[in-house]
Amino acid sequence: MNDSRPVTILIADDHFVVREGLKSLISRTPELRVCAEASNGEEAIRAFRESRPDVALVDLRMPASDGLEAIRGIRAEFPEARILVLSSHDGDEEIHTALNSGAMGYLLKHSSGDQILPAIAALMDGRQWLSPEAEKKLQERNRTETLTPREKELVLLLAQGEANKQIAGILGVSEETVKTHVRNILGKLQVRDRTEAVTVALRRGIIRLK
C-alpha cells in the first residue's frame, strides 16, 4: 500500500447503510479508493469484472446470490483476486467455507472499524488475514469432527421439524439408518439431543434456514 496509486476497493453488501459506512471509513485513508459497489452476488461478480479492484469486500449473506457464490464466481474468472469477507456471522463452518471458496480473509463487521485497514494491507501483501474471533473459531473447529454432506442434510431436516419416519422417506433410507446418522451427529457436535444439535448447527453455520 506504499504505491502512489490508490488501492481500489469493491464493496459488496446488500445494506446501503453498511456500504455508506465503509465508504466513509475508506475515504479517510488517501491510499484507498472505493471504485465500485454491489448489493448482491451477481452484481459483485459483474462489478469486479468491470472495475478490476485490488480488493473486494464481500458480505456472505446477500439476496439473489450470496457472498459465497460471488467469491467462487470471481475467483473462477480471476484466480488472483483478493477477497476479504465482511460478515456479522461468526460460525466456524461459514468461515471455513468462505476461505475454501477463495476468500483470503474474514472480518466480523463489529470489528471492521479498527481492523479493516490492516486486513486490506495484509491481502495486498499476499497474506491471509483473519480477525482474532475468526481465528479462534477455526481453532475450535479443528477440535471437532466434520459432518458429512448427508449428515448436514439430515440436520437441516431436523431443524425443519421432520420426524425420523419422514426423514427416512425423504432420504430414501430406513428409520434405523436415520437413527444411526442422528447418533453420529450428536457425537460429532458433542451434544446430548436433537434440539441441541440443531441449535449448535445453526450457531456454527453448518446449516441455514431460509
Q: Could you tell me the residue ranges of all domains in the chain?
A: 7-141, 149-204
Grid cell listed for 93: 463452518
Do the beta carbons of residue 9 and residue 31 sit within 8 Å?
no
47: CB partners within 8 A, 6+ apart: 10, 12, 36, 37, 38
Model pLDDT, residue 3: 59
Helix-strand-coil percent breakdown of the chain, rounded to 5? 55, 15, 30
- Tens digits of residue pLDDT in 78-123: 999 999 999 988 899 999 999 999 999 999 887 657 788 999 999 9
Please give the average per-residue pLDDT across 54-83, as a whole number. 94
Cell numbers of 61, please? 449473506
User: Could you give the C-alpha distances from 16 to 26, 31, 37, 62, 94, in angstroms and in order?
Assistant: 15, 23, 10, 12, 23
* DSSP-derived secondary structure for 145-184: PPPPHHHHHHHHHHHTT--HHHHHHHHTS-HHHHHHHHHH
Please check whether the two domains, 7-141 and 149-204, share a CATH topology.
Answer: no
The Cα–Cα gap between 41 and 61 comes to 9
Residue 112's pLDDT is 58
Mean pLDDT value across residues 58-87:
94
d(CA 139, CA 134): 9
pLDDT at 81: 98
Distance, CA of 209 to CA of 207 (rounded, Å)? 7
Give how far the C-alpha of residue 179 lies from the chain's centroid of Cα atoms, to the nearest Å.
31
- Amino acid of residue 171: L
pLDDT at 165 over 90: yes
Quick: pLDDT tens for 27-52. 899 999 999 999 999 999 999 999 99
1 confidence band (pLDDT: 50, 70, 90): low
Q: Do the Cβ atoms of 61 and 87 come closer than 8 Å? A: yes
Cβ atoms 61, 44 nearer than 8 A: no
- The half-sphere exposure of 208 on its side-chain side, counting CA atoms within 13 A, is 9
Q: What is the pLDDT of residue 110?
A: 76
Enter the CATH code of domain 149-204: 1.10.10.10
Average of per-residue pLDDT values in the chain: 93
Greater confidence (75 vs 4) lies with: 75
Over residues 126-143, mean pLDDT = 90
179: left (phi over 0), alpha (psi -120 to 50) or beta: alpha
Question: What pLDDT was estimated at residue 65?
Answer: 85
pLDDT(22) > 60: yes
Q: What is the mean pLDDT of residues 18-30?
A: 92
> What pLDDT does 172 receive?
96
Query: Domain 7-141 adopts which CATH fold?
Result: Rossmann fold (3.40.50)
Mean pLDDT over residues 52-76, rounded?
94
